Chain A
């Protein structure tokens, strides 16, 4: 029984989502191998070999893998899938894109967004926006899984000394092509890995106010900035900052929700945070039902005051 983890990386380094996935893979029992598929990703493969608990790194390098196109990455995974009992992807945009393709080609059910491994064939996963936890058992020969990264601790990034084995990259499918990428520039901690998140909602009123009010607080706390769907739809914040059922799922040490009412879909993305603070002027806002500390106040006065008091 051996597990294969598909690494999330930027060619130079390994993203933390991979470390959480390695922990989940170890919980399935047996050896853990990591696949690093990319172009010029030697440094990432070397970094993967350092992860504690990894027995082997498989490095596939080629132009077809440069932009992580689902067709090519899935083919790369399938080329070595025969050796594994479990194939795990982090539940990120990239992982969710490729994993079901692999599962369907293997004719197995995929298990999405697991939060716990009960046994090598039994997993827990949230359904209905996190309002219920299902325990599911798979009878398939290969378990294809995506891992909710906030459900598992990160494996140590150093301390391992796995061998790196090189395999040939698959040929390009020719059916899809990468055109371009618009990356949101940010020097803040990554939302899904941040220890503290300050999140703003519709009550901020405009993009200028959003930046003006939330940025100083984030700077003071060294926090990542998140947003509710209402704030994103209104154009106050870019959409990759959305926290919720269909955005990012986060579980920081401290989550400060300012001007967010707390719809079911938003709570689904943040209710596993250790400490939740809500700042809202509506005493009936549902966010207060999950907040450890609630402050009933106008955020335009409370947030600047908070920045001063810190």
Chain B
């Protein structure tokens, strides 16, 4: 069975982003970009399934600007067999990405699609679920454990009160949570090998998908700043402040 793993190029998780002074977005020029951390976990899981012998091919997909190729090469260095780039300069929103992925699912017929649960830039947490709806496939979101057995896949999910386990018939859509695995480091020889792997490029038109944004961003602002705090000398002073100044206990 094939596995499709969508990966997103995002601002590195350690970067503290700044809002542009014109209030029209976040300044991402000259900022370090990386693979979305949840997507790394998704690639790792797909590669582990391949190493276990239940998966035959891992295909990494990215949608966006030409530089997303770098993200795909990273996925291939982790162990993906080939990459697909859907290249566009349009600001892609989750619904558009889900439609592009649906077109690729129809084309490649994977047994599983493993996505990250959310991208750390838009914080939407939508694409996997939307893809499942469009492709009319079952979904297991926020996965912390995945086991494939025949044409069923058993997934433990992180939910508000603890964990729950679902059994899905394949093909199915899975989104990863942090606890699913620890992604491996890519090694230099694997980075070199990844450069030789196949990478196909499509345009959204090739897939017959309209990617025009549906939501209009009117403005982007800094969040309200917190007032400066004080340091207290000892526990007694802290308790006094909490009781008499903040009046919260």
Q: Which residues of A pack against B, CB within 8 Å?
A: 67, 69-71, 74, 92-94, 96-105, 107-113, 122, 126-140, 173-184, 192, 196, 221, 229, 232-233, 238-240, 245-246, 248, 253-254, 264-265, 271, 274-277, 288, 290-297, 302, 305-306, 309-310
Q: How far is the CA of A140 from the CA of B215 in the complex (A)?
A: 8
Decide: B221 and A175 in contact? CB cutoff 8 A. Answer: no
B160 touches A94 (CB 8 A): yes
Q: Is B231 touching A288 in the complex (CB atoms < 8 A)?
A: yes
A109–B215 touching, CB < 8 Å: yes
| Chain B, range 132-148, C-beta contacts under 8 Å to A | 132-134, 137-142, 144
Question: Knowing that A137-B217, A175-B168, A271-B223 are A-B contacts, what are 18 other residue pairs whose CB atoms are under 8 Å apart, sorted by A's residue number?
Answer: A104-B95, A126-B223, A132-B222, A136-B218, A137-B218, A176-B138, A179-B167, A183-B162, A229-B178, A245-B120, A264-B13, A264-B14, A271-B226, A275-B248, A293-B238, A295-B231, A306-B238, A310-B239
> Beyond A97-B129, A100-B126, is A178–B164 a contact (Cβ under 8 Å)?
yes
Chain B residue contacts of A271, Cβ below 8 A: 223, 226
**Contact, CB under 8 Å: A176 / B162:** no
**Mostly helix, strand, loop or mixed at chain A's interface?**
mixed
A132-B222, A246-B117 known; A294 vs B235 contact (CB < 8 Å): no
Closest to B216 in A: A137
Q: Is the Cβ of A295 less than 8 Å from the Cβ of B166?
A: no
- For the complex of A and B, the 10 pairs showing the least CB-CB separation, nearest first, are A100-B129, A109-B214, A104-B130, A104-B133, A175-B138, A100-B126, A176-B138, A179-B165, A101-B133, A254-B248
Name A290's contact: one of B132, B226, B231 (CB within 8 Å).
B226
B125's contact among A112, A276, A292, by CB below 8 Å, is which? A112
* B residues 1-60 touching A (CB-CB < 8 Å): 11, 13-14, 16-17, 19, 26, 38
Q: Which residues of A contact B226 (CB under 8 A)?
A: 271, 276, 290, 292
The reply to whether B95 and A128 form a contact with Cβ atoms under 8 Å apart is no
Given A104-B98, A129-B123, A139-B214: A183 touches B161 (CB 8 Å cut-off): yes
List A contacts of B88 (CB < 8 A).
Answer: none
Q: Which residues of A contact B131 (CB under 8 A)?
A: 104
B179: contacting residue among A74, A132, A239, A306, CB under 8 A: A239
B38, B129, B134, B178: the one within 8 Å of A70 (CB): B129
Q: List 13 A-B contacts (CB under 8 A).
A: A93-B157, A104-B98, A109-B213, A112-B124, A112-B125, A127-B122, A128-B17, A129-B123, A131-B16, A176-B139, A179-B164, A184-B162, A276-B229
B19, B177, B214, B231: the one within 8 Å of A132 (CB): B19
**Residue B220 CB within 8 A of the other chain:** yes
From A110, A137, A254, B94 is in contact (CB under 8 Å) with: A110
**In contact, B217 and A135 (Cβ under 8 angstroms):** yes
* Interfacial chain B residues near A196, Cβ < 8 Å: 248-249
Can you name the residue of chain B whose Cβ is closest to the Cβ of A105? B133
Number of interface residues of B (CB under 8 A): 81
Q: Is the CB of A296 within 8 A of B231?
A: yes
State whether B215 touches A135 (Cβ < 8 A).
Answer: no
Q: Across the interface, do A176 and B166 meet the contact criterion of CB distance under 8 Å? A: yes
A139 CB contacts on chain B under 8 angstroms = 214, 216
Judged by a CB distance under 8 angstroms, whether B188 is at the interface is: no
| Contact present for B214 and A100 (CB under 8 Å) | no
A-B contact count (CB 8 A): 259
Q: List the A side residues contacting B158 at CB < 8 Å.
A: 93, 239-240
> Is A134 in contact with B229, judged by CB distance below 8 angstroms?
no
Shortest beta-carbon distance from B237 to chain A in Å: 8
B161 partner, pick from A136, A176, A184, beta carbons under 8 A: A184
* In the bound complex, CA of A253 to CA of B227 (Å): 16
Contact A181–B164 (Cβ < 8 Å): yes
Q: Given the complex of chains A and B, what is the CA–CA distance between A308 and B19 in angstroms? A: 44
Q: Which residues of A contact B120 (CB under 8 A)?
A: 128-129, 245
B234 near A: Cβ within 8 Å?
Answer: yes
- Which partner residue on chain B sits nearest A144 by CB separation? B126
With A113-B123, A264-B16, A290-B229 already in contact, the answer to whether A138 and B214 are too (CB < 8 A) is yes
Partner of A309, one of B125, B139, B213, B236: B236
Assess whether B93 is in contact with A109, with CB atoms less than 8 Å apart.
yes
Chain B residues with CB under 8 Å of A138's CB are: 214-216
Q: Is the CB of A101 within 8 A of B123?
A: no
Q: Which residue of A lies closest to B182 (CB)?
A: A233
Q: Is the CB of B215 within 8 A of A71?
A: no
Known A70-B139, A245-B123: A253·B248 in contact at CB below 8 Å: yes
Question: How distant is the Cα of A246 from the Cα of B15 in the complex, in angstroms?
Answer: 17
- Given A104-B134, A221-B249, A94 and B159 contact (CB-CB distance below 8 Å): yes
Closest to A296 in B: B231
- The answer to whether A92 and B160 touch across the interface, beta carbons within 8 angstroms, is yes
Closest to B164 in A: A181
Chain A residues positioned under 8 Å from B234 (CB to CB) = 295, 297
Compute how far the CA of A97 lies from the CA of B132 in the bound complex, rounded to whole angstroms.
Answer: 11
Chain A residue at minimal CB-CB distance from B134: A104
Other-chain contact of B121, A127, A182, A233, A306 (Cβ < 8 Å): A127
